[in-house]
Amino acid sequence: MAERILLVEDEPDLRLALSVRLSAAGFHCETANNGKEGLEKVAQRRPDLIVANLFMPVMDGHEMVRHLRADRTTASIPIVVITAFPEHSRDAQAAQLLLLGVRILQRPFEAQELLAIVRTLLTPPTSGGPDHAGTEEDPHRG
């Protein structure tokens, strides 16, 4: 079954373009128009990953991330934040997001950059350490 991605974006054209790209890459993509709607969709069905714009009306990405991280049932969901930080607040905003365990994708970006981050975040870590990962000695390989 395809991994579920929730795309939270207020710009309709960008929401459609990213949704199409994520779906074409094999992900099941649902969308929300703002953070409040995003939280409602997460409550209905927990996604495997969230991609969200930072600056949105109704509820921005910062507030949405804070709500998700404060709830133990959603705290571990990987989140990618798409933003074009204003120059004067870039460092402070980025530091806050990084402390919350969020990946930041700076605009402008290529769709392939987003897909690479999404795939990395959805790839489970290998067990057994670097000496045993993927070797023939792995008893779970068949």
CA-atom Rg of the chain in angstroms:
16
CATH number at residue 92: 3.40.50.2300
With a pLDDT cut of 90, the percent of the chain lying above it is: 56
For residue 64, what are the domain limits? 4-122
In a domain, 9, yes or no: yes
How far apart CA 56 and CA 58 sit, in angstroms, is 7
In a domain, 128, yes or no: no
State yes or no: pLDDT of 133 exceeds 60. no
In a domain, 80, yes or no: yes
In a domain, 141, yes or no: no
Q: Within 13 Å and on the Cβ side, how many CA atoms surround 6?
A: 29
Domain count, the chain: 1
List pLDDT tens digits, range 87-106. 545 565 666 666 667 888 88
Residue 88, both tokens: 């004067």
Report the amino acid identity of residue 33.
N
